[in-house]
Amino acid sequence: MIPHTHIEIDFKALENNLKLIKQKAGNKKIQGVVKANAYGHGDFEIARALERLGVANLGVARVNEGVRLRELGITSEILVLGGAEENEFEPLINHKLKPVIYNEGIAEKLNDYLKFRDLKHQVHIKIDTGMHRLGIAHDKTEKFFNELKGYTNLEPEGIMSHFVAAGAKEAEWNVLQTERFKDALTNWKKIFKEAPKNIHIENSAGFFNFNLDFTNTVRLGIAIYGYGYAGLLPVLKLYSSVKDIKDVKKGETVSYGGWFRAQSDMKIAVVPVGYGDGFMRAGRKGSVMVNGEEAPIVSIICMDYFMIDVTNINGIKIGDQVTIIGDTHDAGYWAKTSGTIVYEVLTLLNPRIRRKYNGA
């Protein structure tokens, strides 16, 4: 039984997006980013679908995300984009996850751990070209690569960075970061006498805006899920239903704090979705679709409910479907309404909401 409140994931839309991406990527390897529960879509189900669609490289943020996928049977290469802490080395290695090395200390510690276990392990090296988050400083790569060469239990196979403003195509940061990344790549070739197996800096925005000719791997998240570029189809839709209907007299208030006061007699419907499901309180300025009609939210978003104005929707009844994220009101609509970004709208949708997977 599908609960009244549920998410539907459309694998046909996912397949459409991968087809478009592969046409543009050419011979580049595609890494499907499935961190944060695959941006709210369901990490295992999306990872399995990506494997079926020929994406053999996955990206997660944390070791425990990769461990979960391995335990559920995912066999693709998994890169831990946030690297691993010292107390995570054992599950990292035992589950064949590849870490990103982002500073000198973690490289030394991982090498020592591997030496103790008489193992070698593949790693990617992150370069900080301007994000100032994680990564080896771009002007210290030659020194670091020389040190890395001495860590004989590490097998560096990838060099990577991250754009600050890839979505702003003309931003001067993009040129500067690209040049810094190229310089780091030059230093890699000088020290290791060959190019790395994986060269990647492009996220979804970087890939669609630049598609650089010297990289061979792209890390794609939001584009896979259907946002940002022409031809992509949103993969996720969020539905609920009318749980109850109430008559509200002029002057009466709705929900906590009396934030909404009826300006005339009206009819409201209660929808069983709230911030406990990851639907943001900032969404109270938006509207949903009921029976093909737009119904504005007229309450603060509660933990488990919000209320909508259905005064002008003829024939509405308990049990009628409510479309919250759909064709007319996608995650982009809610991002704009809530003053945030699509990523946040999607990733906040938590596992309390059941997922239904269509078109597998």
List residues with catalytic annotation: 35, 256
Which among 127, 330, 147, 94 is positioned nearest to 232, based on CA atoms? 330
Residue 184 φ then ψ, to 5°: -65, -40
- The DSSP output letter for 321 is E
Q: List the beta bridge partners of residue 270.
A: 244, 307
Pairing of strands 154-160, 198-200: parallel
Angstrom CA distances, 117 to 10, 93, 121, 122, 257, stand at: 44, 10, 11, 15, 60
User: What is the amino acid identity at position 154?
Assistant: L
Distance CA 137, CA 341 (A): 28
Lookup: tokens for 102:
């982002």
Q: Is 201 helix (H, G, I), strand (E, B) or coil?
A: coil
DSSP 263-294: SS-EEEEEES--GGGT--GGGGG-EEEETTEE
CB 53 within 8 A of CB 101: no
Angstrom CA distances, 186 to 131, 176, 179, 181, 189, stand at: 20, 15, 10, 9, 5
